[in-house]
Structure 1
Amino acid sequence: MDFGFTEEDETFRTEAKRWLAAHATGVQDRRTWERTLGQAGWIGLGWPEPGYGNRTATLTQQVVWAEEYARSPAPPRSGHIGENLLAPTLIAHGTPEQKSRFLPPIAAGDELWCQGYSEPDAGSDLAGVRTTAVREPRGYRITGQKIWTSLAHEADWCFVLARTDPGARRHHGLSFLLVPMDQPGRVEVRPIRQMTGTSDFNEVFFDGAHARAEHVVGGEGNGWRVAMSLLGFERGVSTLAQQIGFAEELGRVVRTAVDTGAADDPVVRDRLVRQWAELRTMRWNALRTLGGVGDPGAPSVAKLLWAGWHQRLGELATRVRGAAAGAGPADWSPAAPYELDESQHLFLFSRADTIYGGSDQIQRTIIAERVLGLPREPKGDV
């Protein structure tokens, strides 16, 4: 694909850069920031349908926005799950009423979402979910537990994959439900403290939580089809923005290697060059995928590429710092735990890269079965 930027794209880039420079500095409250983005129409650029409070943009302009956002001092997004995952799913599978109810608040930054997929005994094996949704006259009663639920502590709503047919097995009898989080006594969120000291992931417990009958997306029993469609939206334009962040992290590691003298080591130099070359390869692979060229395994290939790359970068970041990588500040004491610096956070957080968002094992299985046509892996009687 000839993925060049036109004069119109560069004009759009200038607008985006100026707006971010004027609004992104010093942002503290991420929910307020989402509303600021929504008021300016920056949420929902990739939606094919206008009219929900969003502006629309070409694919290259979406890339421009994602790249400029990554370069700006703006905070990490709280609304990306609703904007980039749920909204395209509703556009593809939702009823007109569901679209008109949920898309405008997402575009305005007024309602935040989380994803209720993984469970303690069904993380990578999504078809093994045990959360149930029992039909009642006015809707569903949901009971079960989800885990590793990103930003559930901030979310207003959760899209939940639950079993509505107790007699069905595996991917049959599942439904995709839209569940409000503000149900005291029925929905409980417990943050999970990570090695980095942060708690972006959560356990979510549903104890008879209510979902309205009209909030089933794609119809009862069609949850697996809808859920798989959603996963197809997970890796798109945002992948290129992610790579901008990766490039900045790599730049910091290179500068540290030069400052500490680690770059004098030919083995370290070789690893730094490899990281740079692999990042360029990931960019061209992402552009190729966005251009519609490739195969059904392209998203899995992309996940395998960046997860391993980022994990190796975290290891390299500690190597170039030497003993200082494991040290805290001079005034550290057990009574006052210190915050991790950038390289420490990079190393610890990147340990999870090959697991979350679909483990490496699952991605390789997808490529083997769906692209190469190899025999299916036995699933057992779960």
Structure 2
Amino acid sequence: MDLKYPDGAKQFADEVRAFVRAELPATIKEKVIRHAKVSPDEQRLWQRKLCDRGWACPGWPRQFGGPGFDAMQRHVFDNVMSEEGAPPALPFGESMIAPVLFHVGSEEQKAEILPRIRTLEYWFCQGFSEPGSGSDLASLKTRAVLDGDEWVINGQKTWTSFAHFANMMFCLVRTDPAAKLQEGISMLVFPMSLPGITVRPIISIDGGHSVNEVFFDNVRAPAKSLIGEANKGWTYAKLLLGHERTSIARIGQSKRELALLKTLAADQGVGGTSLLDQAGFRARVAAVEIELLSLEITALRTISAGGAPGVEANLLKIKGSEIQQTLTELLIDAAGPYALPYDPLRGLGDNGLGSNMEPIGPDEAAALTPNYLTTRVVTIYGGSNEIQRNIIAKSLGL
């Protein structure tokens, strides 16, 4: 089955593709394709180009500075950007806290924060998970007490992605310890430069640094940092997490990885026969391609329904993350022994500096093992897939 866009959407896809090919620096595209890290300066450079074109924050309505894409345009835009190797948008500001501000933010917060998210002047991180409060987020213990016109925050967050780059955080804190778990939580937004905030790196299994521990020691944030109403943070978090789980599906990225898999498998083989000509491997590739096509159709049905994503977001998160993991496994199988030498520095994009060995095998092979390792987490973050299945079952009355 060939999923084709309607004529108008196809023309828009061609327009987006032409823009990316003309404006995206080759060095940045190469990093994305090779699973290397894009620097904050490179991310901001690409964001400026999107702003100049009027395509920054593609999910935003025009009234807040977005392009006002309809559901099909947004899907096409995201797919083409991923297929062409553009850096993925940072979700924490653009796709997570922004929709919450649209609904419950004060006019002052919207005027101050939204334009700066659009330009990446504000680089957000997400203060949700804590030691012992990951998928069971409602058990969080970080406290915030209102003292005059300031919130005094004490506690710890963990697995905080890109906190070492971020200058802003949206954070869930417990403001009524006597209330039921979900009813005593509030959401705050504040600068990472406030005194009393300490960021400590966590080096992950791929050898990279993308997540952190964050400590709050009598941090004083202005009272206006509160988003919406006090003790309603859990309600806002559910809206926010719906957008996060939809974005974790990463359909465009998986389509790009599938194309890479086919290219790599066509070049590898035994006895003059490529992997793609071997029935067993070809069947595995076909199976994941069918699943990806089914996922895209489901995503199109979800976004065409409009409104905030519901339990469909949980389904997309489950299947999208599983497909991402399957693709990393198939890529390693396709590279064979060339994927075995594990050089995390080279895999992270600095071309093996510090290594005394010349790289062997295809250029793509160096980053496959680090990418495989770091992709293990996609079935955990955003709420583990086990929790997602529980939510779906509950929605069905099971």
> TM-score, with normalisation over the residues of structure 2?
0.83
Residue 251 (structure 2) pairs with residue 243 (structure 1): yes
Compared CA separation, residues 305 and 53, structure 1 to 2 (3 A): closer
- 1:347 aligned residue (372, 383, 387): 372
Hey, what does 1:69 align to over in structure 2? 81
Listed as ranges, the gaps of 5+ residues in structure 1 are: 375-382
Query: 3-state SS of the aligned residue for 1:91?
Result: helix
Hey, what does 2:268 align to over in structure 1? 260
CA distance in 2, matches of 1:13, 1:72: 11
For 2:50, the aligned partner's letter is L
Q: Is the 8 A contact 2:123 2:168 kept in 1?
A: yes
Residues 56-112 of structure 1: per-residue CA shift (max 9 Å, x gap): 2222222222122213343333x4321111111100111222211211111222111
Farther-moved stretch of structure 1 (253-262 vs 198-207): 253-262
CA distance in 2, matches of 1:155, 1:19: 28
Matched ranges for 1:231-380 at <5 A: 231-236=241-246, 238=247, 242-261=250-269, 262-292=275-305, 296-328=310-342, 336=355, 341-369=366-394, 371-374=395-398
Compared CA separation, residues 143 and 39, structure 1 to 2 (3 A): farther
- 2:68 aligned residue (48, 56, 78): 56
- Compute the displacement of 1:334 (Å): 11
Residues 108-167 of structure 1: per-residue CA shift (max 9 Å, x gap): 221111111111110000100000001111120111111111121111110100001122
Percent identity between the two aligned chains? 36
Residues 220-268 of structure 1: per-residue CA shift (max 9 Å, x gap): 11111111111122244x467x222212212222333332223454332
Q: Is the 8 A contact 1:24 1:72 kept in 2?
A: no
Residues 266-310 of structure 1: per-residue CA shift (max 9 Å, x gap): 332221111111111111111111122999421111111122222
Hey, what does 2:21 align to over in structure 1? 21
Query: 3-state SS of the aligned residue for 1:200?
Result: strand
CA distance in 2, matches of 1:3, 1:213: 50
Q: Is the 8 A contact 1:282 1:306 kept in 2?
A: yes
For 2:355, the aligned partner's letter is A
CA distance in 1, matches of 2:367, 2:355: 19
Q: Is the 8 A contact 1:146 1:203 kept in 2?
A: yes
CA distance in 1, matches of 2:296, 2:65: 31
For 2:339, the aligned partner's letter is A
Matched ranges for 1:141-180 at <5 A: 141-180=152-191
- Compute the displacement of 1:321 (Å): 2.8
- The structure whose residues are more often helix, as a share, is 2
Query: Over the residues paired in the alignment, what is the CA RMSD in angstroms?
Result: 2.8
- Compute the displacement of 1:4 (Å): 4.7
Hey, what does 1:379 align to over in structure 2? none
Query: 3-state SS of the aligned residue for 2:377?
Result: coil
Hey, what does 1:380 align to over in structure 2? none
Q: Is the 8 A contact 1:311 1:350 kept in 2?
A: yes
For 2:328, the aligned partner's letter is G
For 1:336, the aligned partner's letter is S
Residue 112 (structure 2) pairs with residue 101 (structure 1): yes
- 1:221 aligned residue (212, 225, 231): 231
Q: Is the 8 A contact 1:34 1:110 kept in 2?
A: no
